[in-house]
């Protein structure tokens, strides 16, 4: 279980995202506020089109909210009211320093080995090659892939590729890991293994995890379940139950 902390690992206040279409405006996320504590594992669920993936992208800076504030470890990550201050360079540097992201598809570089894929974000921080390689292999060992250090993505199963992606997301010791349907491309057993791994790593590293999922069975791994409907939180947006 997570440890209580006075400063949330992740917090958003009044976040909204509006898409403009030929038929008018569509509010995908409507004034959402929530806090996630250090080491807390949160499942974000809701029907298709409820806004959960859009919210996750707004929290990560991969999409920019039209209103609201996002904070990571007590520091301002994004403020829609001061949009001009938060260019892509700032967001990229902030993501690199404090966030990890796991997608439904693995997004591994096919020309790089498992070790080299995990090394990429570490090297981008200026870390030397030897140290980056050691860190990458430590992480691959944590996700039970020490026997796959030098394998290329096409030589790995889907579950193994997603575990490489999890290791890569943890490469720079993020405060928060955001996962968007991380089991969506996997069969049930491999999907369960990935979610169990995320839970274990959250406990071990006290990394907060927010995972979008549509699979009811995943809620048993969570400290808290948050549900969304029509762009708004319908349950679980308050303090954790644990």
Digitized pLDDT (tens) for each residue of the chain, 242 residues in all: 454 547 999 999 999 999 998 989 999 999 999 999 999 999 999 999 999 999 999 999 999 999 999 999 999 999 999 988 888 888 888 888 899 999 999 999 999 999 999 999 999 999 999 999 999 999 999 999 999 999 999 999 999 999 999 999 999 999 999 999 999 999 999 999 999 999 999 999 999 999 999 999 999 999 999 999 999 999 776 544 33
Domain coordinates in residue numbering, the chain: 10-107+158-235
Please state, in angstroms and rounded to a whole number, the distance separating the CA atoms of residues 79 and 228: 22
pLDDT of residue 90: 85
**Within a 13 Å sphere around the CA of 200, how many CA atoms are in the beta-carbon half?**
12
Beta bridge partners of 102: 179
**Structure token digits, residue 96:** 């690199």
- Cβ count within 10 A of residue 95: 20
pLDDT of residue 156: 97
Q: Is 211 exposed, middle or buried (0-12, 13-18, 19+ CB in 10 A)?
A: buried
Superfamily of domain 10-107+158-235: P-loop containing nucleotide triphosphate hydrolases (3.40.50.300)
Mapped onto helix, strand or coil, the DSSP state of residue 111 is coil
pLDDT of residue 237: 66
Label the pairing between strands 232-235 and 208-212. unpaired
Buried b (16+ CB within 10 A) or exposed e, 23-59: eeeebbbbebebbbbbbbbbbbbbeeebbbbbbbbbb
List, as one string, the DSSP characters of 160-193.
HHHHHHHHHHTTT--SEEEEESTTTTS-HHHHHH
Backbone phi, psi, residue 95, to 5° = -60, -45
Please state, in angstroms and rounded to a whole number, the distance separating the CA atoms of residues 118 and 113: 9
Sheet bearing 10-21, strands edge to edge:
24-36, 10-21, 67-72, 75-79
pLDDT tens profile 91-140: 888 888 899 999 999 999 999 999 999 999 999 999 999 999 999 999 99
**Structure token digits, residue 103:** 């997608």
């Amino acid at each position: 279980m997570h440890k209580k902390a006075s400063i949330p690992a992740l917090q958003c206040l009044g976040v909204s995202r509006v898409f403009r279409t030929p038929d008018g405006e569509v509010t995908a996320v409507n004034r959402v506020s929530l806090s996630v504590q250090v080491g807390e594992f949160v499942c974000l669920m809701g029907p298709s089109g409820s806004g959960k993936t859009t919210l996750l992208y707004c929290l990560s800076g991969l999409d920019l909210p039209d209103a609201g504030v996002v904070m990571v470890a007590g520091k301002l990550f994004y403020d829609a009211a001061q949009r001009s201050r938060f260019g892509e360079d700032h967001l990229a540097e902030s993501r690199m320093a404090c966030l990890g992201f796991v997608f439904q598809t693995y997004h591994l570089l096919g020309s790089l080995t498992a070790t080299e894929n995990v090394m990429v974000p570490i090297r981008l921080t200026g870390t030397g090659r030897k140290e980056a390689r050691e860190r990458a292999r430590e992480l691959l060992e944590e996700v039970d892939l020490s026997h796959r250090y030098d394998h290329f993505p096409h030589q790995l199963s889907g579950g193994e590729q997603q575990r490489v992606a999890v290791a890569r997301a943890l490469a720079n010791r993020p405060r928060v890991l955001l996962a968007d349907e991380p089991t969506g491309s996997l069969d049930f057993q491999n999907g369960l293994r990935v979610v169990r791994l995320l839970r274990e790593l959250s406990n071990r590293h006290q990394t907060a995890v927010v995972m979008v999922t549509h699979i009811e069975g995943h809620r048993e791994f969570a400290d808290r379940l948050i549900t969304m409907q029509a762009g708004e939180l319908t349950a679980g947006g308050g303090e954790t139950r644990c």
